[in-house]
Amino acid sequence: MIPNTIHFDLGKWIPHHKWTISTIDGPSWGIRSSWMKEHNDGWGVDHGGIQHGLELGYWHTGSTEHKGQGLIAWNLRTGLNNRLHWEFRIGLAYSPASYEPDIRPELRALGSRLNGLLEIGTSINISPNLYLRACIQHTSNGAIKRPNPGINSFHTGISWMGDIGADNRTTIPLSPKSPSVQLGLIQGARDAGSFGGTIYGVTELHVQYNHPLGPRFALTGNSSLLHHGALRSDKESGEPVLGQAEELHERLQAAVAFGGAVQWGSVNLDLMAGYVYLRPTPGFYRTHLRSQLNIRVSSNLKIIILLRSTRFRADFTALGISIDLMR
């Protein structure tokens, strides 16, 4: 099938760590192709008309040593009935070059070849088939394998859009409009230290409350109990300390978080500010950001993708499910 949208972008890798500055030697640029469908029903009405679909592309990082990345993502544009739109992307990025202590010690931006991709931006129509874009893109592995500063890029570009038909075969649901309570169980991991080391498991059981403020936004609250393997670690090196947190109860951690969510029908993106009130992770602050994607796969079941981070440093990444206790 021929793609109906083509994107050309030019930007700059914005380093946030001294490790990565020396490897940046030029602008970043990319080309992407999308297979988009348009919806004006369900939650598409609440967001002023939407387009979404599969996207494939190539992104040159702006570093000859780091080379480029192959991209696959889900692309979402909202507010199509307005001149100014919002854009979101979530997916995966594959890099042929990543950190290897004996072979490529200078490639400290990415600890693994396969990384997550997240992008947010805005666009404006300049003709019926052309629009200008400005976006911020982040790729990293969520601390599963370090080092993991990630690659942050700001870029602008132009997109050509062909004929995009309405998807009349598939109806999309409305966003939730009543409060709900979910019980979630997720399993995750994190790598120790700045340059790799012991991989710790993280298991979390949580209860979350969602209170819609309308069809597009909601308030959220989360209370979680975790078994965090990194409580055995030294706060400086990140490696296990003999005799530390050997008993199960010594590796239990508890936290609360409050914030908001953007609702896209069956998908919610939660952003919450949290606080660890019982046994913070060694080397991390008690305060943290909880970024959580919830995808409803049935009337009472959701898939959860979670990243918990403090001050731009990932604590752990996790995947799991949640069920509705009240809806």
What digits encode the pLDDT tens for the residues 60-113? 998 888 888 999 999 999 988 888 889 999 999 998 887 777 777 677 778 788
Please give the distance of CA 121 from its chain centroid, rounded to a whole number.
Answer: 14
Contact (Cβ atoms closer than 8 angstroms) between residue 307 and residue 140: no
Q: Where are the domains of the chain?
A: 5-161, 180-326
Q: What is the pLDDT of residue 157?
A: 95
Domain at 180-326, CATH class: mainly beta
Burial of residue 51 (number of CB atoms within 10 Å: 0-12, 13-18, 19+): buried
CA quadruple 217, 221, 224, 230: dihedral, nearest 10: 60
Farthest-apart Cα atoms in the chain, separation: 66
Q: Tell me what percent of the residues of the chain surpass a pLDDT of 70.
A: 93
Is residue 240 within 8 A of residue 228, CB to CB? The reply is: no
| CA distance linking residue 98 with residue 68, whole number of Å | 11
| pLDDT score for 45 | 83
3-state secondary structure of 230: helix
Which pLDDT tens digit goes with each residue over 219-229? 999 999 999 98
Does this model's pTM top 0.85?
no
Residue linked to tokens 């936004």: 217
Residues linked to residue 31 through DSSP beta bridges, in sequence order: 8, 58
Whole-number Å distance between alpha carbons of 39 and 31:
25
Count other Cβ atoms within 10 Å, centred on residue 176: 20
Report, as ranges of residue numbers, the positions in the chain whose pLDDT lies below 50.
195
Report the pLDDT value the prediction gives residue 287, as an integer from 0 to 100.
Answer: 96
CA-based nearest residue to 136, from 20, 5, 14: 14
| CATH number of the structural domain 5-161 | 2.40.160.20
Q: Residue 256 is encoded by which pair of tokens?
A: 């609360």
20 by DSSP, 3-state: which? helix
